[in-house]
Structure 1
């Protein structure tokens, strides 16, 4: 009986603690107290009186996560299990299988195995669908499957998987996986050094500095820093990366909040490596957070030319807060601002459209700021490059192909039909592109455009109302017209699609390392950046 009472009244007690703490920060104390009292009374009554046995922890978990979901996607609650599963390990080291995996629509697919790590050594390849781990069938497993692929170093795990319709088995041996912040660096020509910085973990500055010094020793007199697809990471590492190229005492980023203690200015504190070496920073729509701090600061300080396309626009700062019983809250506390005063954040989560989506600032309402030398730069979210390249932008049809695995799935089929390419660079011919379009049709690929979704919803509603027979002919005509339109759009984006297919296939045959080797001499953004650095007058023109 005591345990039942504890279970039923622990939330009100905990809530009282929240009220006490919250009171010191809230002016509207009465409204906070009122809402908490309503909630705890409701929770208690449901727990005591509902007709069936309920799970109080599960209900509370959903209630909290639902409440936070209305704020922004970065303010999240971790229950005890979440803390263990999702707590970020900023060292870049963990014990696991050494592969990117994706669980979508109940399927667990290998997206990319890392060379010489457990998944690769076990023979797993991109496109393999894991259907059984040990004795557990994944079709029956509704929890976080990632936990089944973790364990002690050298632990062995039996894996059953599907590959091109065949059921195969292998044994994985777990090992430490150390992800590099700088997975590649080299020379794009005899004087241009190229550094890929893929994440801002605790190794970011150390590895970037080592790469920079190595390239300079090899004759590099100018540098390309590639931050494309870098999702960000540790703030102090972003500041220290900038410090490699700017003097001690420079303001790199400020954070602003309604709470005074969260208003901070972050400055460089170390001796730089080289404050004069010409520098280009590459960004794209997947460069976020810490990547945007680096790109924005170096742009505002007129220290680098930014090349590519507008970055993601993630300028909200989070901090973890430990709660009771091993739970945790990651909460947005402030916004990032570049040295010129630009806000990096693109979406306004306080203001949402009729579909409940956060509003993006209209381009006509961007505010003008000035770099140190007086160049005009603008806010609106993210960092807009000094030299914008169309090659870095994906059309809507290409975004759909990437999002819904059209590129990935065709590459898987192509790989097994052409197993002997080895170290050769795949060439995607017009015939291959035609095969790709046929593949999409055969697999009934859906682009999920707004028009396509609306058409499907109309048919579903018609079937529900039993009037679908009357509109079926018109529906088929619209569907045919839509498919023709999508085919036209595919043809218009054929060059971009071919390039994405080639890049995906290079990873299949030569891992990510092979893709970097190819990029350094052939990627349009890198080639353009190299040419810009080799033309001193053009380079300086961007900075003056």
Structure 2
């Protein structure tokens, strides 16, 4: 089922609608009182009159909107026109920068994951690296979109990031900006006819790229794959539509994900086409880790609940909210958390994440050194998990995640290589499945 691109679930945003303007306060039920509006206007007037330097009213308005939205939850925000334009470039898969997906954590922009084959990945930046300064200027308390704009710039120029990795001393990394063209799907045929697909983010082109990759793998395997590994590790998410379309490539009919908002009119359920599966009889493993977020968790949760794949790896990030992008004519856009999403069995991943069926940690020498294992539930203002939907259908295994399910993520440069312990475990699992691909048993494999 195709959906419009104005609902996002990852770190980056996209939109396809426009709003003529902000609604008047009188048009909004229980909107701001006249006293509230008068207070804002009065403070702005005082700042313009008495602040030590002249301040443009538009600058004050932008700052007020940013402060208002950022206090709601970790993922709501206000984007100025340039920031909104850049966010749309993100989802188109081509933009200028160094190739980092970042979000705020403890007042600092923090790397959620570097993008494959970019300056950030090439320099060895890792999930959990805190960016403490950009070109010598502190980033603490600075609006996240402003930090992103400082990191981006003209291709060929250099930006210097000062990073804090766990309890290690701070270190500086010079990165040469380049045009980032994101190809979100990589694939290759492994031994014994098993296909390997890695999705690094969920953008506009991801479903098309994934279908092309599956066609190539099937051709290379002589028409039929013996198994498939879908690698979603270090994938920070992206578009809800892409997550639904990718899930639908492996499911024939039935629910992929549902979303529940403040009002019943906002509730939606997204289903796969009745005969849409591209590999209906191929055994699958989905790999996730602590840097797998939002769209990645939708796909992993759908395939797990529908018993279509064995999920392996470590506990995922736990971002279970949906952001709606509301453009405001001539004034950028709001990125507003508008709903929570639920897997086919009715469970919310918010704050909890996906618990793998088979826990496999990266080997110690493969893990990000001194990495902090941080997750959605640790972010300031994050929502608590709301629990199961009433009468969701087939009840899932609701046991809580075992303590060993969380673990530092694998180093980005080792993903998919012959040193990748988690991938080896996934391939071994597929190679030794008994006839009929029976239901999985939750277990733990030492890393």
TM-score (norm 2): 0.67
For structure 2, the residue ranges without an aligned partner over 5 or more in a row are: 1-20, 126-133, 140-145, 162-173, 353-376, 443-447
Does residue 92 (structure 1) correspond to residue 106 (structure 2)? The answer is no
User: Residues 80 and 325 of structure 1 are in contact (CA less than 8 Å); yes or no, is this contact kept in structure 2?
Assistant: yes
- Alpha carbons of 1:328 and 1:275: their partners in 2 closer, same or farther (altered >3 Å)? same
Q: How big is the alpha-carbon RMSD for the aligned residues of Structure 1 and Structure 2?
A: 4.5
* Comparing 368-377 and 309-318, the one that deviates more: 368-377
Structure 1 residue 237: Cα displacement:
1.4
Pair member with larger Rg: 1
Question: Residues of 2 paired with 1:225 and 1:101: CA distance?
Answer: 21
User: Residues 85 and 147 of structure 1 are in contact (CA less than 8 Å); yes or no, is this contact kept in structure 2?
Assistant: no
Q: Residue 123 of structure 2 aligns to a residue in which SS? A: coil
Q: Residue 253 of structure 1 aligns to a residue in which SS? A: strand
Which of 384, 397, 404 is matched with 1:376 structurally? 397
For structure 1, the residue ranges without an aligned partner over 5 or more in a row are: 1-16, 129-136, 163-168, 400-499, 508-514
Does residue 37 (structure 1) correspond to residue 52 (structure 2)? The answer is no
Structure 1 residue 147: Cα displacement:
6.2
User: Residues 369 and 376 of structure 1 are in contact (CA less than 8 Å); yes or no, is this contact kept in structure 2?
Assistant: no
Question: Residues of 2 paired with 1:527 and 1:370: CA distance?
Answer: 38
Match of residue 439 from structure 2: 541
Structure 1 residue 138: Cα displacement:
4.4
Structure 1 residue 195: Cα displacement:
1.0
Q: Residue 376 of structure 1 aligns to a residue in which SS? A: coil
Question: Residues of 1 paired with 2:214 and 2:424: CA distance?
Answer: 19
Larger RCO (CA within 8 A; separation ≥ 6): 2
Q: Residue 326 of structure 1 aligns to a residue in which SS? A: coil
Question: Residues of 2 paired with 1:254 and 1:178: CA distance?
Answer: 31
Structure 1 residue 235: Cα displacement:
1.2
- Alpha carbons of 1:70 and 1:216: their partners in 2 closer, same or farther (altered >3 Å)? same
Query: Map of 1:131-170 to 2, 5 A cutoff?
Result: 138-139=135-136, 146=149, 150-151=153-154, 157=156
Question: Residues of 2 paired with 1:288 and 1:160: CA distance?
Answer: 27
Query: Map of 1:285-296 to 2, 5 A cutoff?
Result: 285-296=290-301
Question: Residues of 2 paired with 1:127 and 1:529: CA distance?
Answer: 25
- Alpha carbons of 1:537 and 1:33: their partners in 2 closer, same or farther (altered >3 Å)? farther
Q: Residue 84 of structure 2 aligns to a residue in which SS? A: helix
Match of residue 309 from structure 2: 304
Which of 255, 271, 284 is matched with 1:267 structurally? 271
Would you say how many aligned residue pairs link Structure 1 and Structure 2? Answer: 365
Query: Map of 1:85-484 to 2, 5 A cutoff?
Result: 85-94=86-95, 96=96, 99-100=99-100, 126=123, 138-139=135-136, 146=149, 150-151=153-154, 157=156, 176-187=179-190, 189-219=191-221, 220-247=225-252, 249-269=253-273, 271-346=276-351, 358=382, 375-377=396-398, 393-394=407-408
More helix by share: 1
Q: Residue 527 of structure 1 aligns to a residue in which SS? A: helix
Match of residue 525 from structure 1: 422
Structure 1 residue 390: Cα displacement:
5.2
Structure 1 residue 358: Cα displacement:
4.0
User: Residues 151 and 159 of structure 2 are in contact (CA less than 8 Å); yes or no, is this contact kept in structure 1?
Assistant: no
